[in-house]
């Protein structure tokens, strides 16, 4: 409190002073509980990142491991967590997540597009548009899934795995259980793809050279880390081409979010009070706009490389914190209510990425 406020309180009657002191104490406790909830999610995230650095551990994504550890805690020990901490945990699934998506732009530059050529750009565009289109059609029409889970699974498979699922969540209001299942589905099949593509390369699949196969791999494997691991098993040319193609594909995240927000508000939000705009107002995902601004700023190379590297490391931490909080708030009962269909959809999209993406690569690159 300021000096003037303190003097005024001191001059007030005793019961007014007690009430003011009680309110101040309540605010202090509330802030501490909020920070404790946020620290809980951060602790789970740091544990996941530490475990993935152990040399003999399986090459798991820290995002997936943070989700799994958080979900384990949420379904076993969450009853012992003070209820007042929930606000801090929930904050991590919202604001921390959106901040992480904005900072994700520091991983990209406009030169990433030029590096893969028009054929690579066309392949990236085809994979993103066709995978989301096939996913929405198969998910909602054939599998009769809810549009929220379908959209998150499709975006995750089509763009950049777990990060795309998390970025899509605020737009479709998917809920914690649906988001967790969508993340798990794309990570599972992305991991299988990481193991499959080196085998496809050794078998002479599609008859592409190493550079072309790297572009194909980067344009069709889900996660950036999976692309790095799979391409490293093929060769240096494949690695360079794959990572560049993957970065070019990630650039589609922003336009997909912006277009998706406009379409979603008109097609799916009618009569649903969860959505801010039900008629003509389009909810603008400002974090997606800021993501584009961050990417353009990074393209200007105004920051030293070591600073950008530190920002990217911080961004990974924030993504892990959001995933940990998401896991803490997800119960097995909610996951079971979603059912097995998201994994069926993810499997169908994985086949589409290998086959449909492969045929497109043959046409556009060879």
- Contact (CB, 8 A) for 166 and 97: yes
**What are 317's two structure tokens?**
């931490």
The pTM of the full predicted model, rounded to 2 decimals, is 0.70
What average pLDDT does range 228-256 have in this prediction?
84
- 168 near 151, Cβ under 8 Å? yes
**Greater confidence, 357 or 115?**
357
**Region at 158 (left for phi over 0; alpha for psi -120 to 50; beta for the rest):** alpha
Query: Domain residues of the chain, as ranges?
Result: 15-365
CB atoms closer than 10 angstroms to residue 238: 27
Q: Is residue 328 over pLDDT 80?
A: yes
pLDDT of 284: 61
According to the model, what pLDDT value does residue 155 have? Answer: 93
Percent of the chain residues past pLDDT 70, beyond the cut: 84
φ, ψ dihedrals at 100, nearest 5°: -65, -40
Cβ(75)–Cβ(331) under 8 Å?
yes
According to the model, what pLDDT value does residue 21 have? 53
Q: Which of 5-14, 32-41, 76-85, 137-146 has the highest mean pLDDT?
A: 137-146
**C-alpha distances out from residue 120 to 260, 334, 362, Å:** 23, 40, 11
Q: Which range, of 32-36, 139-143, 271-275, averages the lowest pLDDT?
A: 271-275
Higher pLDDT, 67 or 211: 211
**137-158 pLDDT, tens digit each:** 999 999 999 999 999 999 999 9
Using only C-alpha atoms, what is the Rg of the chain? 23
Residue showing tokens 């950049």: 160
């Amino acid at each position: 409190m300021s000096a003037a406020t303190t003097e005024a309180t001191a001059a007030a009657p005793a019961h007014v002073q007690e009430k003011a002191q009680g309110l101040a104490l309540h605010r202090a406790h509330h802030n501490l509980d909020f920070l404790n909830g946020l620290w809980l999610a951060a602790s789970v995230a740091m544990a996941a990142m530490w475990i993935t650095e152990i040399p003999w551990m399986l090459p798991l994504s820290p995002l997936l491991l943070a989700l799994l550890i958080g979900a384990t805690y949420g379904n076993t020990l969450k009853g012992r967590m003070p209820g007042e901490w929930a606000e801090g945990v929930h904050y991590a699934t919202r604001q921390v997540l959106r901040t992480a998506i904005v900072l994700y732009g520091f991983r990209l530059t406009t030169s990433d597009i030029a590096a893969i050529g028009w054929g690579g750009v066309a392949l990236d565009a085809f994979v993103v548009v066709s995978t989301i289109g096939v996913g929405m059609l198969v998910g909602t029409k054939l599998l009769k899934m809810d549009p929220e889970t379908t959209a998150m699974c499709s975006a995750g498979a089509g763009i950049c795995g777990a990060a795309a699922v998390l970025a899509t969540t605020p737009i479709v209001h998917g809920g914690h259980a649906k988001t967790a299942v969508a993340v798990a589905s794309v990570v599972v099949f992305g991991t299988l793809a990481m193991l499959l593509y080196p085998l496809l390369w050794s078998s002479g699949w599609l008859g592409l050279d190493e550079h072309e196969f790297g572009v194909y791999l980067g344009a069709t494997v889900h996660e950036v880390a999976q692309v790095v691991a799979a391409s490293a098993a093929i060769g240096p040319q494949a690695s360079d081409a794959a990572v560049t193609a993957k970065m070019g594909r990630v650039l589609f995240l922003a336009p997909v979010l912006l277009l998706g927000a406009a379409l979603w508000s008109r097609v799916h939000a009618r009569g649903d009070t969860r959505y801010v705009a039900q008629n003509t107002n389009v909810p603008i995902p400002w974090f997606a706009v800021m993501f584009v601004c961050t990417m353009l700023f990074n393209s200007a190379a105004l920051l030293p490389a070591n600073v950008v590297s530190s920002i990217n490391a911080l961004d990974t931490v924030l993504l892990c914190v959001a995933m940990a909080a998401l896991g803490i708030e997800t119960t097995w009962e909610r996951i079971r209510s979603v059912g097995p269909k998201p994994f069926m959809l993810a499997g169908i999209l994985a086949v589409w990425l290998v086959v449909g993406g492969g045929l497109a690569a043959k046409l556009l690159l060879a």
